[in-house]
Amino acid sequence: MNTLDIRDVSVVYPASQGGEAVTALSDINLTIEQGDLVVALGASGCGKTTLLSLIAGFIAPSKGYLTLGDSSIKGYPRVACGLDLGDEVMGPGADRGVVFQKHALLPWLDVMGNTEFGLKLQGVGKEERRKKAAEYLKLVGLEDFHHHRVYQLSGGMQQRVGIARALANNPEMLLLDEPLGALDALTRESLQELLLDVWQETNKMMFFITHSVDEALLLATRLIVMSPRPGRITHQFDLTFNREFLECRDARKVKSSEAFIKTREQILSIIHGDETDGKGA
């Protein structure tokens, strides 16, 4: 049972030519435990993606520390210049799968090739990884598209391949950066349900970024609202709408419940408050 612990983390991007240093994140404290589905919500530029990159190990914190279990995420590889830095230091790794908003599929591989890519990297035998990949492709509804070229698929299908690829690798934690942002409403809803199913089944930690308040409320066990300049967490909510949804399987019913509408209003007013603050400054 691993826990992701973020303590007093700040990220400052150094001044580039003619600019000032930008504080992307300031004093972030966050704990994500097994079975948590944390959704980050906030206006553009509030550091959501920076936070995800930190957890993934793509960037290093300027201050504070991140730990996953006993290891510290430092944003550089465990093996540097042939020296093994040991388990306590790690950059990106197979334990934290990432899905980007715009799919990052490899165009020279077909759908199957992309899905089994992570397993292949880890040296899983061909038959086993094919079987596993096929399982997840079936889960996302792409069982008839194994040998299609990924750049000929629609945006929704590409994103589903991206999700299947991340899941097939069986990470401890799934990091999703607006994975459903570019999709149509129907695909979006079916993928939300799919993600919740996966979450319930596997009890994985998930960190999910979105712009949509409805999506955030429907998915989250914990919702963090972030605010820009400097990027920080301003509010946290513990939510249970996803449990309700998994029971009744009717998103519209959940979304029209009184509690849902009330919470949504509350969050919208926080976000709008941010905006007017920003204009006043």
Among 15, 21, 104, 248, binds other proteins (CB under 8 A): 104
Name the segment binding other proteins (CB under 8 A); options: 114-122, 210-218, 220-228, 229-237.
114-122
For residue 113 the two structure tokens come to: 């090739």
Name the segment binding other proteins (CB under 8 A); options: 29-37, 54-62, 202-210, 249-257.
54-62
Kindly state whether residue 56 participates in binding other proteins, applying the rule CB under 8 A. Answer: yes
Among 13, 89, 100, 181, binds other proteins (CB under 8 A): 100
The amino acid occupying position 202 is T
By rule CB under 8 A, what count of residues binds other proteins? 31
Kindly state whether residue 75 participates in binding other proteins, applying the rule CB under 8 A. Answer: no
Going by the DSSP 8-state scheme, the letter that residue 149 receives in this structure is B
Q: How far is the CB of 106 from other proteins (least distance, A)?
A: 6
Kindly state whether residue 66 participates in binding other proteins, applying the rule CB under 8 A. Answer: no
* CA atoms of 112 and 116, how far apart (whole Å): 6
Question: Do the Cβ atoms of 206 and 4 come closer than 8 Å?
Answer: no
Q: What are phi and psi of 214, to 5 degrees?
A: -60, -45
Q: How far is the CB of 223 from other proteins (least distance, A)?
A: 24
Kindly state whether residue 94 participates in binding other proteins, applying the rule CB under 8 A. Answer: yes
* CA atoms of 186 and 140, how far apart (whole Å): 14
Three-class secondary structure of residue 63 per DSSP: strand
* Window 132-151: residues binding other proteins (CB under 8 A): 149, 151
Kindly state whether residue 179 participates in binding other proteins, applying the rule CB under 8 A. Answer: no
> Which secondary structure element, helix H or strand E, spans residue 9, and what is its range?
strand 3-13
For residue 202 the two structure tokens come to: 């596997």
Among 97, 156, 179, 231, binds other proteins (CB under 8 A): 97
Kindly state whether residue 125 participates in binding other proteins, applying the rule CB under 8 A. Answer: no
For residue 201 the two structure tokens come to: 């089944």
* CA atoms of 139 and 194, how far apart (whole Å): 8
For residue 101 the two structure tokens come to: 């908003």
Place of tokens 């089944």: 201
Kindly state whether residue 76 participates in binding other proteins, applying the rule CB under 8 A. Answer: no
Cβ neighbours of 217 (radius 10 Å): 25
Kindly state whether residue 232 participates in binding other proteins, applying the rule CB under 8 A. Answer: no
Question: Which residues of the shown chain bind other proteins in the complex (CB under 8 A)?
Answer: 56-58, 77, 79, 91-94, 96-98, 100, 102, 104-108, 117-118, 121-122, 149, 151-152, 165-166, 169, 171, 175
